[in-house]
Structures are given as structure tokens and as C-alpha cells.
Amino acid sequence: MNMTRLLVFSDLHNDVRALEKLMDIEADYYFAAGDLVSWARGLDKMAEPMKRRAGSVYVLPGNHESERDIAEFCERHGFVNFHGGTLAIGDTQVAGLGYSTPTPFDTPGEYSEQEMAARLGKFVGLKPRVLICHAPPLDTDLDRIKEGLHAGSRAVREFIEKVQPEHFFCGHIHEAEGRVIQMGATRAMNVGKKGYLLEI
């Protein structure tokens, strides 16, 4: 049986070399889970390494990009805007939602917890096997900046606890890059710029 490979990465913040390395990895789908750049500057430069994989690249806005920034970026370069999107790979449903909950920095891509919950709510009936968000679940190892300081989303955590996707991927909190936790039946990971290759 052939495996399908999904490469998920996040928070490159204008690191073109890291993106080139990711694009050298052979995968069937490439998911950029937000913050390709900082403050929405330099997106077109980041498109260059991704162009050779264009039809297989799915992009979410992080908190550093607005929905419109990413929609226009994807349209210009032939990528798929995956914000609020779903994808069926065989019998596996994949769902994606960008943005973070409010930060102290007033970045372009922020939702209130209520808005995050409403947008995630559209995926409940889908019961996705794979969920990709920019924001990590609140009060976990995936959103821990330092001892006692967490900056994730309550809505994301509640969705995972309720729906229990098999795999959850996020970014946003750089200090938690590479962390993996188990949330009930869900294996959850903060992928960061190194990324993670999932075989399904």
C-alpha cells in the first residue's frame, strides 16, 4: 500500500534557507502552517523556493499575515489557500485554520477565542483525522513560552479534546518547537521551522 506523505512546517519568519531545505524533502503535500514571514513583509521572496512544488503547497496565515495577504499570495503563485479549508486524501480528512488568539503585539492575524471556536466548529462534523492550526492548545507543552507562561488557544484545546483528531500540528510558540504530547487519542506536535513528515 502506498503511503501519502504530508510535510507540515511553521514559523519560518523569512528564513529562505530553511524553506529551501523543506522543499528538498519529497512529499505529496506541503503545509505551511503560518508565519512564513514577519509582519507580512517579504512573502513573494518566500514563494521562490515553493514554486517547484506549487500544486502541492497549502498555506495558512499565521498571526503575522492576514487572511487577505495569504489569499492574494496563493493566487499570485499557484498555491492553495488552506485557511478554513479541508482536503480529502483517500479516506483521510485534513482540516486547517490559521491565525492565533490575541497577542501583546497586535499582529495582523489574530482571532478572539470566540471567533476561533466558531471557525473550528465548522470542522466538528467532518471529524478530521489531521488538524493543522497556527495556534497551539492552551496550557500544554506546545504553547509554553517558559515556566508558568502559556500563550495558546482555549478554543483549539477544546476542539482537540472534543473531536480527538489522530494528528494535530501547530506552530506559533517558537520556544515549544519540536514538542510532542498526547491529548487523549490525539498526537499533537508543535512543528516549528524544522517541520514534520507525516505518512498516512
Cα dist from 54 to 59, 60, 72, 171, whole Å: 11, 14, 15, 22
pLDDT (average), residues 167-176:
97
For 183, the 3-state DSSP assignment is: strand
Given a cut of 80, whether residue 139 has pLDDT beyond it is: yes
DSSP assignment letter at 42: S
Task: Give one DSSP letter per residue of 122-163, joined into a string.
Answer: TTTTT--SEEEESSPBTTSGGGEEETTEE--BHHHHHHHHHH
Q: Are strands 80-81 and 57-59 parallel, antiparallel or unpaired?
A: parallel
pLDDT tens per residue, range 2-59:
899 999 999 999 999 999 999 999 999 999 999 999 999 999 999 999 999 999 999 9
pLDDT (average), residues 148-152:
94
Q: Rounded distance, CA 12 to CA 175, Å?
A: 13
pLDDT (average), residues 115-136:
97
For domain 5-199, the CATH superfamily is Metallo-dependent phosphatases (3.60.21.10)
Domain boundaries, the chain: 5-199
**Residue 28 burial by Cβ neighbours in a 10 Å radius (0-12, 13-18, 19+):** middle
State pTM to two decimals: 0.97
pLDDT (average), residues 182-187:
98
Q: How confident is the model at residue 1 (pLDDT cuts 50, 70, 90)?
A: low
Phi, psi of 52 (to 5 degrees): -70, -15
